[in-house]
Amino acid sequence: MKKRLYYLAFGLAAIVASSCSKLDNYPAPSNTITGETIDAGTGNTVQTEIGSRGTRVKLLETSYSSNPTPYYFQSMQDGTFNNTKIFAATYNASVEGPFVPLVQTDSTGKVTSDQSQNITIKGTNTTTHLTFKVEPFLRIDWVGQPVFNADSTVTVKFKISRGTTNPAYQSLITDVNLYVSNTKYDGDNNYDIRYSPFNSFSTAHQTDSLLTNTLTLTTKPGALPQQDVYFRIGARINAGLDEYNYSTPVSVKYP
């Protein structure tokens, strides 16, 4: 009886073991792409938003097909990116975000300029560093530090300037927003509606003084909560998918 059980167990083990023989024996991707999106004018990385409305890297695996389906991965908020699971292959790489596109077309669809990069990745455990120099639609720079007012609101000062002289990307500013959040991942998809003031400018009320003056924004009426608070300015023009350009996030100590 016991012997029969053993046979049975052995038989089952044989079946189970053999059923697992079809392993995916293709080695896992082990190469790394790191890099950053740089403002060609200042050399700083281009600030962006986390998630689907921020900068992303586009890879076309040209060694696989002449018409490959694009592979995208998101950049980090500060404009750097890092992906450690890249297969060895030949790629055409570029970035998409709130800046003048690297691949530009005219109104008939003809490619007029192409600054995408062709890279070849070989072997395993390699690291490829990519730097994309771009012209952001807008640059937003802080003027001094945010200031706590007597009523525990906060006032910030900043300047907005254009990052490109390309005539196709000179439309007027449509939105200038101050985002208030309790994390530094501050942006149009993550802010506290109670404190964040938004300013939209319709065509009729647009003015270029937004680009020449130092601008001041104050959080909405009501004391900010006593906790870490981060501030970030986002501004955009009507171009591409209307993504925002951002300042760096800053925090101030609650007095």
Partner 1 sequence: MKRYIYIIIAILTVCGSACRKISIPPPNIIQDKDVFTSSPGIQAYMARLYSELPIEDFRYSPARGLNFFWIISPTPATTGEALSRDQTSSMQENFGGWNWDIWHGSYTVIHDCDYFIETLPKYASNFNKDQINQWLGEAYFVRGMTYFALVKRFGGVPIVNKTLDYTVGGSTEPLKIPRSSEKAVWDQVASDFDFAIANLPDVNMDYKDGSRANKYVAAAFKSRAMLYAGTIAKYNSITLFDGSQNQLCGIPASAAAGYFQQAVDAAKTLEGVYSLYLKGWSSTDKAAQYQNFVNLFSDATSSETVFVREYNYPNSVHGYDAYNVPRQLIGPNGYSSEVNPTLNFVEMFDGIPKNANGTIQNLDAGGHYQLFNNTMDMFANAEPRLRASVILPGDLFKGESIEIRRAIYTGPSAGGISPLLPAGSKSQYPTGNLVQGADAGQQAFTLPNGSKMNPAGASGIFTGDQTCAISGFSVRKWLDPNLPTSQVLENNETQTWIEMRYAEVLLNRAEAEYELGTSNSANINDAFTIINQIRSRAGAIPLASSSAMTIDTIRKERRKELAFENKTYWDLRRWRIFDKEQNGTIYRVLMPFYSSTAGKYFFDARTDERNDVYTYDPKWYYEQIPGGAISKSPNLIQNPGY
Is 226 a binder of partner 1 (CB under 8 A)?
Answer: no
**Residue 42 binds to partner 1 (criterion: CB under 8 A):** no
Distance in Å, CB of 164 to partner 1, minimum: 17
The answer to whether 120 and 88 are in contact (CB under 8 A) is: no
With contacts defined by CB under 8 A, name the span among 124-132, 138-146, 155-163, 239-247 that binds partner 1. 239-247
Task: Mark 69-93 as b/e (b = at least 16 C-beta within 10 Å).
Answer: eeeeebbebbbebebeebbebebbb
Exposed / middle / buried, residue 180 (Cβ in 10 Å: 0-12, 13-18, 19+): buried
| Residue type at 113 in one-letter notation | S
Inter-residue contact 251 to 57 (CB < 8 Å): no
CA atoms within 13 A on the CB side of 27: 9
Residue 151 makes contact with partner 1 by CB under 8 A: no
Among 118, 151, 194, 228, binds partner 1 (CB under 8 A): 194
Q: Which one of the spans 73-81, 128-136, 208-216, 237-245 is the region binding partner 1 (CB under 8 A)?
A: 237-245
Question: What are the strands, taking DSSP E only, across 75-121?
Answer: 80-86, 90-96, 103-105, 111-114, 117-120
User: Toward partner 1, which CB reaches closer, 31 or 233?
Assistant: 233
Residue 31 forms beta bridges with which residues? 86
Is residue 113 a contact residue for partner 1 (CB under 8 A)? no
Number of Cα atoms under 13 Å in the Cβ half of residue 80: 6
In this chain, which of 7, 12, 14, 70 binds partner 1, going by CB under 8 A? 70
Window contacting partner 1 (CB under 8 A); options: 21-29, 119-127, 140-148, 194-202: 194-202
Closest distance of CB 222 from partner 1, Å: 8
Told to check if 135 binds partner 1 by CB under 8 A, we report no
Q: Is 65 an interacting residue with respect to partner 1 (CB under 8 A)? A: yes
Residue 104: how many CB atoms within 10 A of its CB?
14
CB of 232 closer than 8 Å to CB of 179: yes
Q: Which of 18, 112, 202, 209 binds partner 1 (CB under 8 A)?
A: 202
Nearer to partner 1, 126 or 238 (CB): 238
Residue count at the site for partner 1 (CB under 8 A)?
Answer: 30
Report the SS3 class of residue 86.
Answer: strand
- Tell me if 52 contacts partner 1 by CB under 8 A: yes
By CB under 8 A, residue 110 contacts partner 1: yes
Give the closest residue to 39 by CA, choosing from 123, 114, 138: 138
> Judged by CB, which is closer to partner 1: 31, or 180?
180
Q: Does 85 bind partner 1 (CB under 8 A)?
A: no
Applying CB under 8 A, the residues found at the interface with partner 1 are: 52-53, 65, 67, 69-70, 96, 105, 107-110, 175, 177, 188-189, 193-194, 196, 198, 200, 202, 220-222, 238-242
